[in-house]
Amino acid sequence: MSDMRGIDTPVRKRRRRVFKEVANLAYTSANLKDDMEALPYKIVDYEKSQYWESVYRDRAIIRERIRLAMGMSLRPENREHPGHLTEGLEESNIDEKYYEPPLMQVIPSACNACPENHFEITNACMGCLAHPCHSVCPKGAISMVDGKSVIDQEKCIRCGKCKEICPYDAICHKERPCKAACGVNAIKSDRFGRAYIDSDMCVSCGQCMVSCPFGAIADKSQIFQLIRAMKSGRKIIAQVAPAFAGQFGPSVTPAKFKTALKELGFFEVYETAIGADMGCMAEAEHYVKEVATGHQDFALTSCCPSWSVMAKTLFPETIDKISNELTPMVATARVIKKEHPDASVVFIGPCASKKLEASRRTVRSDVDFVITFEELTGMFEAKGILLDEIKELDSLNDATAAGRGYGVAGGVASAIEECIKKYYPETEVKIQHAESLAECRKILLLAKAGKMNGCLIEGMACPGGCVAGAGTNIAIPQAVKAVQSFKQEADKTVPDEDVKQSV
């Protein structure tokens, strides 16, 4: 699966432009309904539209993107009168968290109806005498027509043997990118062959969104409501996930980033890694007392909401193995609310599914808004804040290397292991980690079969960990390096022993 993060594609430019314009509406609009109706004409110039076959389709897609960026749902395409762009605007024009499920949506008019799973012989076929593709096909689906091989799609079982054997690499495998990226098989096809998301199966990791080359999948944003809250004069405090490192440019240091957030209007800025420090100490103690002693077969981390939801849904027998500790986001929010009871808390991170975690009712999240790095970029652009030119007026130094390491795959298990080695040196630790939902499923199957007993298992829905989340701005290898540098800048390697007291 190819990853387009870090490449300034037209899809990325469109997403960022929409976030910037929606942020502009929240900051400056005196006549919201009219200004919102005018946006598609502002964004899609009649003379310059080049991404679709017509300016009208281009604007139709932008209209739906604007609705999603306002936290609203798509308008139904199967209705004779789908309604105006601003239909339902009253409900979303508020200064509190607004969320109308589902989170992830496919814009039907933008979907290319890509082939789901299809092998095709290209014009690179040389019509060779050996034609090994014929010989290896178990269903006799390949024949010669006018000196070239042709696949009978009715007979083809998509085994891929022909592609593997072709000496000219003349056979291509076409697969729907969003479906290939989904580790829980939540991408289905409608009667027109367009993708749609089965919300009962979806765990909102957003990997389908970043994999779609047509930009047909988007999640809902809370930037409009957040800006309204900031303009209301309330005290708004940000907590930033460790994966922020490097996301806003190589010269934007943590201190610069904190100063920029204060310039944007945040009262204070905390590291979410504070909550990670508390969690890894508590989970270290749990492992030593429960798993290492054999009272519990294995333990699963809980900080990735998509992994937790998948485990609970597909492997309900593992529910009692998932950590009961608060996730870093929630634990940090509790710390903030304890110190600032009158404040609203905003989690700024790489992750789409944190928006759902903040909205769930089972555990009080204490998080009032969730925005991604990509959405935050739109806010900075709307306010004309150039992060490279910010003068450092603050420092960001709340957490240890262990907590900051949560941003990269393997970092959670590694942090817990470091804590165990320091505070429980006599305990032997067995750790495993899986990244991507497909790999997470495999490791849970092994755990179910008793092959992971005695292990601490970390699961991350995104391949690469949080740095590969759906709301990130830069290429994953670049992000990994930036988080590792941020981790090394911490004053302490692991938290003090008394940090494990939960709030």
Burial class, 333, CB count within 10 angstroms (exposed 0-12 / middle 13-18 / buried 19+): buried
pLDDT band at residue 267 under the 50/70/90 scheme: very high
* pLDDT tens column, 303-347: 999 999 999 999 999 999 999 889 999 999 999 999 999 999 999
pLDDT band at residue 48 under the 50/70/90 scheme: low
pLDDT, residue 87, reads 87
Average pLDDT taken over every residue of the chain: 92
| 354, two tokens | 């944190």
- Taken in order 26, 28, 33, 38, the sign of the CA dihedral is negative
pLDDT band at residue 50 under the 50/70/90 scheme: low
**How many residues does this entry show for the chain?**
503
pLDDT, residue 501, reads 46
pLDDT band at residue 84 under the 50/70/90 scheme: confident
Judged against a pLDDT cut of 50, whether residue 502 lies above it is answered with no
Q: Which residue has the higher pLDDT, 432 or 51?
A: 432
pLDDT band at residue 20 under the 50/70/90 scheme: very high
pLDDT, residue 497, reads 78
Whether 241 and 349 have beta carbons less than 8 Å apart is answered as yes
CA 423, chain centre distance (Å): 34
pLDDT, residue 113, reads 94
pLDDT, residue 487, reads 95
Judged against a pLDDT cut of 70, whether residue 24 lies above it is answered with yes
| 448, two tokens | 């179910």
Across the range 474-479, mean pLDDT stands at 95
Phi, psi of 422, deg, nearest 5: -80, -45
Whether 330 and 338 have beta carbons less than 8 Å apart is answered as no
Judged against a pLDDT cut of 70, whether residue 63 lies above it is answered with yes
pLDDT, residue 176, reads 94
The whole model's pTM is what? 0.92
Three-class DSSP category at 306: helix
Using the 8-state DSSP alphabet, how is residue 299 labeled?
E
Three-class DSSP category at 89: helix
* pLDDT tens column, 452-464: 999 999 999 999 9
pLDDT band at residue 395 under the 50/70/90 scheme: confident
Category of 55 on φ-ψ map: left (φ > 0), alpha (ψ -120 to 50) or beta = alpha
Domain with residues 117-175, CATH architecture: 2-Layer Sandwich (3.30)
Q: What percent of the chain has pLDDT over 70?
A: 96
**Closest by CA position to 355, among listed 158, 486, 219, 155:** 219
pLDDT, residue 470, reads 94
